[in-house]
Homo-oligomer: A and B are copies of this chain.
Amino acid sequence: MTDARKVLQALGDATRRDMVERLTDTAMSVSALAAPYDMTLTAVGQHLAILEAAGLVKTEKIGRVRSCSLNSAGLDVLDAWTRALRSTWERRLDALGDVLDEK
């Protein structure tokens, strides 16, 4: 569900990156999350939906306020992606080293 594609696409935007960073410090409502940005609540809600779909943010609506907090699942997916890249990359470098050793 939360693939690397969604996570990286979500974090490609400066506002969403900032939102994630702020949510690591403290959970907050949609309005509080929106406060620092020069954009409408609607726009912030749209960003939030993208972050949630990517598994980077978890939200829970209690009464009329929705509380937003970090979801580490998205970061897990991101780490898995980079680890996979690194392992192919290192395996390749090793193979290259072996070829050079044979000379």
Could you tell me which A residues sit within 8 Å of B by CB distance? Answer: 4-5, 8-9, 11-14, 17, 20-21, 24-26, 70, 72, 75, 78-79, 82, 85-86, 88-89, 92
Interface of A, secondary structure class, is helix
Q: Is the CB of B72 within 8 A of A24?
A: no
Cβ of A20: which chain B residues have Cβ within 8 Å of it? 85
Q: Across the two chains, which residue of chain B brings its CB closest to A9?
A: B12
Cβ of A79: which chain B residues have Cβ within 8 Å of it? 79, 82
Assess A24 versus B82: contact at CB under 8 Å? Given A5-B14, A8-B8. no
One of B5, B21, B70 near A17 (C-beta < 8 A): B5
Shortest CB–CB separation between residue A96 and chain B, in angstroms? 10
